[in-house]
Chain A
Amino acid sequence: MSKTWPHRPPAVFRLDDDDVMVGLAKDEAAKRAVQVILEPDAETPLIAVDDPLQWRRRGFRWGALFWGAVGALILLAAGLAVVRLIEDLFARNQEFGFLGLALAILAAVSFLVVVIRETMGLARLATIEKLNRRALDTLLSDDRQEGAAVARALLALTRRMPRLARGRATMESHLGDIIDGADMVRLAERELMTPLDQQARRIVTAAATRVSAFTALSPRAAIDVLFVFGSALVLVRRLSLLYGARPGALGLMRLMRLVVLHLAMTGGMATTDGLIQQMLGHGIAGKLSARLGEGLLNGFLTARLGLAAIDVIRPLPFTALPRPTLRNLMSDVMRGFGEKEETP
């Protein structure tokens, strides 16, 4: 043997041989024999991905320390105040004291639940972000195991979505096939993301239509601003619910930040995406009626925000399916397509 690579010579085992056992045998005697373990499908263990931080922070996180310390102080102060209050209540009247104690316990428990929920929401958001990044990597590397792992993770993420039952069943049946990484990611996108994308499009269109109509009819600019901001929040929240994230208040804040960042980063690209036509259209509409023009512009901005939110919150990047564009969304808005909206 003068092989320069780790090489095992060929071998063959007849399945009807006495030494060969098909399946796993437990007892000692069987261990000496040759065992053939059938692989029902391409068995791929879920491999842990090392997840390099996108922005490695440098130095000590003084800001985090500051906020942590201030938070702890506030918590301490609140705790102290509550303890004092209950003591005072007990001093005044036994019954009031018990009532206060019960309320304090209720508050503590519910606060705990809220914290747990927020943490879970944030964790889920992080899972989705990581999944997106892994899918992107897999599309480049075409790694078979990683592709299957991404598909499995996506299946786990979408386990609770009734509208994906069929897609999930198809996907599960393909997990055992020999399919390369990039193809597997595309397949998962086609099977599991199509219904969600359609719904997301409807949600964004509906929000944009609503904002347009409201701005065109509302009596005061200040109310517009509030309404636009409110609908943006609702829109992002609904989209994230649709794609499997369940963000709490903190999660929603993080999401909004990401969406705005994304908007800022892709702002330049959007000029190719019919922005000019839209602006022109808005100009013409503005000539006809100032309110109408403003309404269209607001609707258009809402749609942009919705598209950015989809990019941020979607567990897989757009590869096999076309990315919804502002142009086709806005034409839906014009057509009043949003009327047919369903709740997710």
Chain B
Amino acid sequence: MNELIEQIRLAAAALAEFSSHLFNPTIRLGVTGLSNAGKTVFITALVHGLLRGGRFPVFEAMATGRIARAYLAPQPDYAVPRFDYESHLDALVDKREWPASTRQISELRLVIEYQSQNGYQRALTLDIVDYPGEWLLDLPLLDKSYEAWATESVKLSRLGPRAGLAKDWNSYLTSLDPQGAEDEQAALTAAKLFTAYLKACRDKNYAMSLLPPGRFLMPGDLDNTPALTFAPLDVASEGVAPKGSLWAMMRRRYDAYKDIVVRPFFRDHFARLDRQIVLVDTLAAINAGPDAVLDLERALAQVLDCFQIGRKTILSTMLRPRIDRILLAATKADHLHHTSHDRLEAVLKRLTQDATAKAELAGARVDVVAIAAVRATREATVRRARQQLPCILGVPVAGEVLAGETFDGDTEAAMFPGDLPDDPNELFRSGASAFRGISTTSPQNADFRFLRVRPPLLEMTESGIPALPHIRLDRALQFLIGDRLQ
């Protein structure tokens, strides 16, 4: 019943939007990515490039001069904060710091005035939403009952490196009786321990991705409310909760969480997307090890399953908008020499192969690229003894350690992160032939080390800030909105 009402609501909203978009063409660009994938930097660089006229040779409309101007317009939603483009840009350019992780949802509307190929003056509105990547993991919960989710979470917490991190919570879990009477204190403690376990998984050394529910990691304004005070119990996935039991209480709160948090989030920001870019920080997972890579694969599969993907038809546009183009982007490609970009793309293709196949079957266009929205490194060849290493030059952020060196945030270094395999399947092996990441071995023995690098030093020109350097941001733009600017 709930589901039906929700569907009607979505269709009504889509219908209302359809008529206004007839006269005012709008693209809702879904910038999706788990936390730390680089959504904020991507949006900032994209907006900056469009506003200032970046160096985008592959983005046809801009390269041929058909874009007359682009400007920021007041956003459509009154209840959502504005994306703070200016201060993010300041942090990037002046302080040379990456933006802190996003804690709140925010929105931006960009209007592009352009001339079409046959000479008409047109305008295209681009709506972009930024949000904490953790929240994205909530979307798969929409179709899951409490029991299914709990069974899955408990099972997952006993796998691989998670088992060690979840020890406290797991031992508390065995002391709980789901059939017992409801107990607020038990729920509080369980939620606290469960949250601690999720937070530990997210640590840079483990870089786990599949950590629902997202609000536990980034609570926004719901901290300490009952909707966030629940945890999985060790219950059968098909059982029925007895009245007044702890189980029933948890189940109620889980459903409340879905109603209060997840549904509105999905309805307002993801149900009506036209184009989607999925940013994936593949390198962080490779850095951490095979378990993180497998976890990322699971998380991506679940998240990508939530979107309406397929070819556009008039009926679908009116009632159930579909995403007809998806760009899968491996971000932070500047941490690799460009000769390895093809291999990085191969890894991402392998990570998302099921979702890609499904989307293509439904008639959507899918492309995979390695991008860097802001390119922070240069390239160099290092010759040592008889070896030649294709390296990148950059300034590692303060505190990064590699080969016994601790960086202070001012020293430039040439880094070689380790050769990626030609065959991406090598990274998905487990057991003895698995590669070693920093979650299981010391940083000295890891097979790959990707250090975080500070944003680039830009030279000022008298006309203001020069365009931010990037890798393939123009190709991404061409794929995502190029056809709507014809």
Q: Is the CB of A13 within 8 A of B413?
A: yes
Which residues from 250 to 284 on chain A have a C-beta closer than 8 Å to any C-beta of chain B?
none
List 14 additional A-B contacts (Cβ < 8 Å) besides A5-B426, A34-B384.
A2-B433, A9-B418, A10-B416, A11-B389, A12-B414, A12-B415, A13-B414, A34-B383, A36-B382, A37-B381, A38-B378, A39-B378, A186-B60, A190-B63
Decide yes or no whether B399 CB sits under 8 A from chain A. Answer: no
- 12 intermolecular pairs with C-beta atoms under 8 Å apart: A7-B421, A8-B389, A9-B447, A10-B416, A10-B418, A13-B382, A20-B414, A34-B382, A36-B393, A39-B380, A42-B379, A187-B57
A322 to B471, CA, bound (A): 27
Q: Is the CB of B413 within 8 A of A12?
A: yes
A15 to B472, CA, bound (A): 28
A302 to B240, CA, bound (A): 82
Q: Is the CB of A36 within 8 A of B414?
A: yes
Given A15-B411, A42-B379: A7 and B418 within 8 A (CB)? yes
A81 surroundings in chain B (CB, below 8 A): none
Q: Is the CB of A38 within 8 A of B393?
A: yes
Which residues from 222 to 259 on chain B have a C-beta closer than 8 Å to any C-beta of chain A?
none
Decide yes or no whether B12 CB sits under 8 A from chain A. Answer: no
A174 surroundings in chain B (CB, below 8 A): 57
A129 surroundings in chain B (CB, below 8 A): none
Given A39-B380, A178-B472, A320-B60: A12 and B421 within 8 A (CB)? no
Decide yes or no whether A6 CB sits under 8 A from chain B. Answer: yes
Decide yes or no whether A14 CB sits under 8 A from chain B. Answer: yes
Q: How many A-B residue pairs lie within 8 Å, measured between CB atoms?
A: 125
The chain A residue sitting closest to B400, CB to CB, is: A12
Give the dominant DSSP class at B's interface.
mixed
Q: Is the CB of B447 within 8 A of A3?
A: yes
Q: Is the CB of A183 within 8 A of B475?
A: yes
Decide yes or no whether A85 CB sits under 8 A from chain B. Answer: no
A9 surroundings in chain B (CB, below 8 A): 418, 447
Q: On chain B, which size bracket covers the interface?
A: 35 or more
A117 to chain B, nearest CB (A): 37
Q: Is the CB of B380 within 8 A of A14?
A: no
Q: Is the CB of B383 within 8 A of A6?
A: no
Decide yes or no whether A54 CB sits under 8 A from chain B. Answer: no
Q: Is the CB of A178 within 8 A of B341?
A: yes
Given A15-B414, A38-B393: A5 and B419 within 8 A (CB)? yes
The chain B residue sitting closest to A11, CB to CB, is: B416
Q: Is the CB of B58 within 8 A of A183?
A: yes
A16 to B306, CA, bound (A): 50
Q: Which residues of A line the B interface, CB within 8 A?
A: 2-16, 20, 34-39, 42, 144, 170, 174, 177-180, 183, 186-187, 190, 320, 322
Which residues from 450 to 471 on chain B have a C-beta closer than 8 Å to any C-beta of chain A?
451, 471
Q: Is the CB of A8 within 8 A of B475?
A: no
Q: Which 7 A-B pairs have the closest CB atoms?
A: A5-B421, A10-B449, A10-B418, A35-B383, A13-B414, A183-B58, A12-B402
B391 surroundings in chain A (CB, below 8 A): 13, 36
A37 surroundings in chain B (CB, below 8 A): 380-383
Q: Mark B409-436, 1 if CB is under 8 A from A, else 0.
A: 0011111111101110010000011010
A178 to B415, CA, bound (A): 19
A23 to chain B, nearest CB (A): 10
Q: Is the CB of B419 within 8 A of A6?
A: yes
B382 surroundings in chain A (CB, below 8 A): 11, 13, 34-37
Given A36-B382, A179-B57: A10 and B446 within 8 A (CB)? yes
Decide yes or no whether B312 CB sits under 8 A from chain A. Answer: no
A58 to chain B, nearest CB (A): 38
Q: Is the CB of A36 within 8 A of B380?
A: yes
B62 to chain A, nearest CB (A): 12
A10 surroundings in chain B (CB, below 8 A): 402-403, 415-418, 446-449
Q: Is the CB of B58 within 8 A of A179?
A: yes
The chain B residue sitting closest to A42, CB to CB, is: B338
A178 surroundings in chain B (CB, below 8 A): 338, 341, 471-472
Decide yes or no whether B64 CB sits under 8 A from chain A. Answer: yes
A12 surroundings in chain B (CB, below 8 A): 402-403, 405, 413-416, 449, 451
Q: Is the CB of A14 within 8 A of B60?
A: no
A174 to B380, CA, bound (A): 18
Q: Is the CB of A14 within 8 A of B405?
A: yes
B57 surroundings in chain A (CB, below 8 A): 170, 174, 177, 179, 187
A274 to chain B, nearest CB (A): 17
Given A34-B382, A37-B381: A4 and B433 within 8 A (CB)? yes
Q: Is the CB of B447 within 8 A of A7?
A: yes
A6 surroundings in chain B (CB, below 8 A): 419
A10 to B340, CA, bound (A): 14
A181 to chain B, nearest CB (A): 11
A180 surroundings in chain B (CB, below 8 A): 369, 472, 475
